[in-house]
A and B are shown apart, each in its own frame.
Chain A
Amino acid sequence: MKQKDIEQIIHDDHTGMSLIVKTVARMMIAVIILFAFYIILYGHLTPGGGFAGGVILAIAYTLMMLAFSRKMALHKFSDFWASFWDNIGMLAFIILGFLGLNSGYFLYNFIWHGKPFHLVSAGIIPLANIAIGVKVGACLYAIFIGLSIYGRLIIKEEE
């Protein structure tokens, strides 16, 4: 998909929703993703965390799919990469748990805790939040992909 096709999707009235929705979505999606990263990264200081931030991250891409089209969202974040980041997040969380075995028990908080109320503090908790956020975001978006494209996607190439 080239730049020309993307612009055609944005300006075409027949793909996706109306012009108002498209304009608002184009402005909001980046802000929503930024907010999701804020929620994930500050999970150990403010309310929120990996699960909530991941859901917001998934919502941004779902909004992209609803406002523009299936083709646009799959161009930005395809089902392969959704599944890939899902696996990476899960693997990172489990590896973080196993690294704790080195100095104690499974999921031991082995990194220096730092000063409370600072961004770099609380040992493995921010890292685990990031892993869970990536995992949940990719995973919920992948569920939406699975429900919307599979079975409808016409497969062109032959076996």
Chain B
Amino acid sequence: METFFIIMLVLMIIGAIIAVETKNMLSAVIAAGVVGFGVSVLFLFLKAPDIAITQVIVEVLSLIILIRVTTKADNEAIERKIDSFANIAGLVFVGIFVGFCIWAFVDMTPFGTPLMRVSQHYLSAGLEETGAANTVAAVILDYRAYDTLGEAVVIFTSILGAFVILRSRGKKKIYEEDYVKVGIPE
């Protein structure tokens, strides 16, 4: 299992590097998608199927939106014809994902087993260990502080993006050319 994790992590790091370095926007979007789906597979094997499902949904939605943004805005309605290669490829990838799910769900805790081991510890020892009278504060800022850090980073990144996109005047001078042309090649 350790080697499988390392392989997935290396794959995700390669995908992230490609997403940053490549000049073609569509390739960058798809390479960033590799990272998201790798994370969702890792969540499956770390026994967090709910987060894995959320990750898959977010990933699919963001891929659709980003691909729609990167392709040309004025493209025509796509003619309806059966693309057998795309169908077969989609089915194969869905099959691979279902296979991973089955492999991951085999050693889940059986249905009906009490799962209160960790939370029972928080309730009984939280006051002595953290000194916080509010157990919720003890959990979100001491035991699960990484989670809170992640949420704060999410809000921080969103406001950064909003400030960059909504601002009426860019930092770059008008006469400056783009260093490289990005986007889909003609």
Q: Which residues of A contact B (CB under 8 A)?
A: 43-47, 49, 51, 83, 86, 89-90, 93-94, 97, 106-107, 109, 113-117, 121-125, 128-129, 132, 135-136, 139, 142-143, 146-147, 150-153, 155, 159
B130 contacts A122, C-beta separation under 8 Å: yes
Contacting residues, chain B, for A150 (C-beta < 8 A): 166-168
Alpha-carbon separation in the docked complex, A111 to B159 (Å)? 31
Across chains A and B, the number of contacting residue pairs, with CB separation under 8 Å, is: 109
Q: Taking A93-B149, A150-B167, A151-B166 as contacts, is the C-beta distance between A43 and B155 under 8 angstroms? A: no
- Pair B156/A86 contact, Cβ less than 8 Å: yes
* B156 in contact with A90 (CB, 8 Å): yes
CB of A151 within 8 A of CB of B163, answer no
CB pairs A–B below 8 angstroms (7 shown): A43-B134, A107-B146, A114-B131, A122-B131, A124-B141, A125-B138, A136-B152
Q: Which B residues between 130 and 156 are near A, CB-CB below 8 angstroms? A: 130-134, 136-138, 140-142, 145-146, 148-149, 151-153, 155-156
Complex CA gap A107/B120 in Å reads 22
**5 closest residue pairs by CB, A with B:** A113-B131, A122-B132, A107-B145, A150-B166, A44-B132
Interface of B is mostly: helix
B127 within 8 A of A: yes
How many angstroms between the C-alpha atoms of A125 and B151 in the bound complex?
16
